[in-house]
Structures are given as C-alpha cells and as structure tokens.
A and B are shown apart, each in its own frame.
Chain A
Amino acid sequence: MPLTPQQIATLNAAADRIIPPDDESPGAVASGAAARLLAMLDGDLSVMQRDYAAFLTQLDLEAQVAFGAPFAELDAERQDALLSTFQPSAFFRLFAEHVHEHFWSSKAGMRLVGFEVRG
C-alpha cells in the first residue's frame, strides 16, 4: 500500500531533521533526497514500504501523545527531541542512512563537501 499523505508529510519532516536545511545549504527535502527516498519506496525499497508506514505512524502517534500535534507540525526542537527517543531503534538508523545516501549523492550534498564534477 502506498504511503498516505500524512505519512509522506511525516517522512519529509523527519528527513529534514536528519539533514536539516541551514543558511548555507538545503536539507533533505530541498535537495531532493527525501523525494528520491519516497520514489524508492515504490521501487527498489518497496519491500520496506510497510515497515516505513508503521514507523511513520508510530512517530506521529508519539508526537500526538507528547505534544498534541502531528510530527510534521511540531517545531524543530520538539521533532529532534522525539527523534532522539527513536535513536536506539534499528529502523530509525536505517531511515537515517537512507536519507544520507540520497543527500550525499545529490547535487546539494556534493556541493556542500566540495566534490566538484569536472569532466
């Protein structure tokens, strides 16, 4: 089953805390990394779609319990606080890796570290 709009919003918000935007460079969403991860959940990573859905729903549930709002609507500080409680979970680490893979292979990620493609 494809992710629901709310799950997608949660994924985007969480990805932007894995690689936050700052003055200097875009984060996971603006770099296109989150979109590529979403596309992969319909492709190479489709076997993980269900685990992703469960993780994102859980994240939202915890957000509601702790702060009374869905994850995507929390401020960055609260989002980070919630994500920190997920840090020991293997799935959180996997999610973070997926975001990193797509960010460091994006134009923005390469530019940030000074990997310049010449030729």
Chain B
Amino acid sequence: MSEPKRYDVVIVGAGAGGGVAANVLTAAGKRVLLLERGRWLTFAETGRDHLRNQRMSLYGHNAGPSADHPRVVEAPNGQTRVVLPWQDGYQANAAAVGGGTPVYGGQAWRFHPKDFRMATTYGVPEGSSLADWPISYDDLAPYYEAVEHALGVCGDAGAMTHLPPYRRDYPMPPLPLTRPGAIHRRGAAALGWPTLPVPLAINSMPFDGRPACIRCQHCVGFMCPVDAKNGAHNTFITRAIASGKCDLVTDAMVERVLMRDGHATGVSYFDANDHRAVVEAEVVVLAAGAVETARLLLHSGFTNDNIGRNLQGHVYVGAVGLFEEEVYDGLGPGVTTATTRWSHDNDGVIGGGMLADDFIVLPAIFWKRYLPPGAPRWGLAAKHWMRDHYRRCSEIKGPIQDIPSPNARVTLDPSVKDRWGIPVARLSGTTHPESIRTAQFLHAKAVEWLKASGAIEVWGEPPQAPFLSGGQHQAGTCRMGDDPRTSVVDPQCRVHGTDNLYIADGSVHVTNGGFNPFLTIMALAYRTAEGIAQRW
C-alpha cells in the first residue's frame, strides 16, 4: 500500500448532505476528498425506461445502487431474505454523484416548527422513541434560506403561512399552474383549506447558467433532459470541484472509519479496481445515507446501542379521484399544489402530514398502482378502461410524519457480506402503530379533498398495519441529542465520544417531519459543515 494521502476533510458519500458539506468546506478553504461508491450519471445513460427507474423499479433501476450492494430483510417472524436494491423491502435510495438528487422530484420543503418539538407537543406514546430535536426551527431557518438560494428553489414564501415569515422569498417564482392543480385549488378553497405552491428545486426561469424547465413528463425518477432540476450534482458538488480544493473519487466503496482513542484518523475504501486504499484527514464526515452510515459506524466498531435504531422514512397515503372530464394536461413535473392544513393539531392523532397533487404518473405505473378494485384486468375491457380513464384521474397524496420506533433498525448481518467482504445491512422492525393511525386520518383528508375537487369516484386504501418505512426518505438511524445514552451525535452532529467524526445526512434527524426531507438534510449539512470549518 502506498503512503496514505492527507486531506483536511474526507466526506463519505456525495449525496444531498455530502455535496453541501463539500461546497461549504471548500469555500472555507479546506482541502476535501469526496468518496462516492456510485458514478456521475448522464441523461442518456439513465434513460426513460418506464419499468426500470427510481419511481418504479420492477426489473432494476436507473441510478444505482448496483447488484453489488445487497441487504438482508428480517420479517417480524425472524425469517430473513437477501434482497437486491430494486427488490421489495430494500429501502433503496439512488447511489450516484448527487445521491438521490439527480433523479428526485425536488420537493423542497422546510420542516414545520412543531416537527422539531414532537415529544413536547404530543407526549411520547408507549413503545415509541418520539423525541424533540436539540435544535429548533429558528436554528435551522438561516440554513434553509442559504440552501434555497444556493440550490435554486421556486416557490412563494408568502404562501407558506404555516411557517414564521421568511427573510427572503424564494429565488424563483412557482411554475405555472396545471389543469389538475387549478381543480384542486378550487376544491381546497371550497373546503376552506389554505393551499400553497409546492416549493421545487426546479428552474421556473433560467437560473445559475442553466435553463428553465420545459415541462416534460418524466421528472421524478429520471434525470432532467435540459438540466433544469437542481440537485447536489449540478450545484454544490460542481462548485466544490471548481474551487480546485475538492477531489471526487467515484466507484469508491468506503469500508471503515479508522479510529484511534476517540479520534478519527481517516477512512479505508476500495477503489474502482477493488484495491484497498487509506486516506488520512483532520476530520471525517459521514454522509452515506441513513442505512449505510449506520452500517459503516457499526462495521467500524462503534458500540453505542442507538446506532441504527429509529429508522424512519414516511408512511405515504394517497387516493385517486376519477373526474367527469379529462384533467390530464401532460405538463410536468405535475406536482403544483399542497395543503399544510393537516400537518399538526389534528384531533386524536399524533402529528399529521402535508397533502399535495402528484407528479405525472406514467401509464405503466398507473396500471400497476392506481387501478380501482374491480377494474378489468385483461381483454378489450381492460385496454379500453385505461383508454377511457387515464386522463380523467388525478391523485392527492402525502407523507405523514412517522412516529419512530427503536425496533425499526439497521444492524450488521452476521453472515451475508458484499463482494468487498463487508457485512451487509440487515433491516428489521416496523414503524410505531401510531404512524398508521395518523396515516388513516390523513387518508380520509385526501379523499375529502378529491371529492371537493369534483371527483365522481375515489379509490385507494390507507395502510392497515405497521411496516418498515425508510426508502428514499430514510432518516433517523444516528439521531441527534445531548445525551449519548439516547442519541448518536451531539447538536453539532459530531458522533458522541469522538472529537472529529461528524455526520451530514438524513441519519441525524430525530424525527422526519411530515414533509419530504432533502431540504432539511441539506440545511443541516450546511450548518454542520460551517461548524466544522469554524472549529478545525
């Protein structure tokens, strides 16, 4: 092995959090190494396969991880099975330069102030690990703002009436309304529910040298044909590299954090040729996503029992409405209108969630996931059913705030290893049953909204029993807190018991809000990186 290279900071994972950290740290003058197991993606390579994408991965997906990254899923009865990244139960997010962000939908939500105070607001239900964050909305607000402007988010700050007033409006106005969006705004108005344009990390006008969105039909799950969707890959990471202070190594599978007496000295990884390399650094930042960061810590010998617990994502609810007239207008991305009326203060349930209309649903996905019970499944009747209904349907859906359970957990599998010999993540447990009660509550609201919008028929059932939620919205496995007995990182996102090991991804979320999480992940990474730059 050659002499290890030395950097000021090594960051594991070039995703949403890792990308922001790289940009903030290089801007502060640090020499940064960014290690990513995936690769740069291109539009041509990721394509538009309706059966193999990050929205529907029936036979594979388009943005990683590859089959080299299996996991083990443990059922409630203890039975286990090995799963590939596109198979049921894997809890996949994309793996590439940019992490999930090159193919995400870009819904750029700030969490609600009460999302940071869940235990104080609602109490802690039996068997749950519900807790307050050690920081507040106000602590994060300046970083939300910084990310909104550095990344490029379109929206209307004046409409975000569930939040304290913004200091600055979004850098771009919302995209023009669609036909279904207008219908749902009228429906909500009839109910007296306030609505707002969904903030999106999409250029509604030319921004930062890249063009405006051309309203294509393949947004979520795919890369943007004109590079108008803003992720870590085309903003923070390109800026970090342009600074000349950041080396990015792709196809780099990090194996371990190297520790000496509570001090991280660097990491070891396998390069594209499967050669093991060691890099040394003043500071190590983990940003491998909630499942893989926990796996890395466990494999590096960390024994804090909280590591890997409280895995959470979002239990999604949704319903499909059938309208008298055609509502489909083919204008992407499709999601336009939300209500935060049911995010909190709901009778008899804990928390709640945001509801919104949906991205354009591909016909194949519509067939697989949106048919009403009793629809014909073969023959001319089925073919004509699709012909006559596809353009008359519209969905309302949303993420409810998961009520975390300590038993929803990432551990190391005792026998299955990946091709580098690293034990794979084993996933077990489920979300707390209170999540399901809240989901049922929010589902009823989705149905009510669709009916008020004029739907003549509504279908889609809420979940009935707890399951493990994680997936694209995975978070919580290394939660933040003051007390090492109940948390993994301190309020600066430094791993308890270490002086220079930090986490900058969704793992540190104490709870995951009733909103899509990436903006919070980026805002926190911004804050964490700023703290590192000041301290080191």
**Chain A residue nearest to B363 in the complex (CB):** A104
Per-position binary interface string of chain B over residues 171-215, scored 1 when its CB falls under 8 Å from any chain A CB and 0 otherwise: 000000000000000000000000000000000000000000011
Which of B58, B216, B378, B387 lies in contact with A17, CB distance below 8 A?
B378
B377 interfacial by beta-carbon distance below 8 Å: yes
B51 CB, nearest partner CB in chain A, Å: 6
Question: Which chain A residues numbered 6 to 47 have a C-beta less than 8 Å away from chain B?
Answer: 17-20, 22, 24-25, 27, 40, 44-45
Would B386 and A105 count as touching, CB distance under 8 A? no
**Chain A residue nearest to B326 in the complex (CB):** A114
Would A100 and B367 count as touching, CB distance under 8 A? yes
Which of A19, A27, A83, A114 lies in contact with B390, CB distance below 8 A?
A114
A14 CB, nearest partner CB in chain B, Å: 10
Would A117 and B377 count as touching, CB distance under 8 A? no
Would B330 and A116 count as touching, CB distance under 8 A? yes
Per-position binary interface string of chain A over residues 75-118, scored 1 when its CB falls under 8 Å from any chain B CB and 0 otherwise: 00000100100000000010011011110110001101111111
A119 interfacial by beta-carbon distance below 8 Å: yes
Which of B50, B218, B387 lies in contact with A112, CB distance below 8 A?
B387
A89 CB, nearest partner CB in chain B, Å: 13
Chain A interface residue count, CB cutoff 8 Å, equals 32
B167 interfacial by beta-carbon distance below 8 Å: no
Per-position binary interface string of chain B over residues 366-389, scored 1 when its CB falls under 8 Å from any chain A CB and 0 otherwise: 111000000001111011001100
Most buried by B among A27, A102, A105, A114: A105
Which of A93, A96, A112, A119 lies in contact with B225, CB distance below 8 A?
A119
Alpha-carbon separation in the docked complex, A28 to B228 (Å)? 36
Would B378 and A96 count as touching, CB distance under 8 A? yes
Alpha-carbon separation in the docked complex, A70 to B377 (Å)? 24
Would B377 and A96 count as touching, CB distance under 8 A? yes
Per-position binary interface string of chain A over residues 34-65, scored 1 when its CB falls under 8 Å from any chain B CB and 0 otherwise: 00000010001100000000000000000000
Would A101 and B367 count as touching, CB distance under 8 A? yes
Known contacts: A17-B378, A93-B377, A119-B214. The answer to whether A112 contacts B386 by CB under 8 A is yes
What chain B residues lie within 8 Å of A100 (beta carbons)?
Answer: 364, 367, 377-378, 382
**Chain A residue nearest to B391 in the complex (CB):** A114
Question: A105-B50, A119-B226 known; 19 other A-B pairs, CB under 8 Å?
Answer: A22-B383, A40-B59, A45-B59, A96-B377, A100-B378, A101-B364, A104-B364, A105-B49, A105-B362, A110-B363, A113-B366, A114-B328, A114-B390, A116-B217, A117-B216, A118-B215, A118-B216, A119-B214, A119-B225
Chain B positions within 8 Å of A, measured between CB atoms, are 48-51, 58-60, 214-218, 225-226, 328, 330, 332, 362-364, 366-368, 377-380, 382-383, 386-387, 390-391
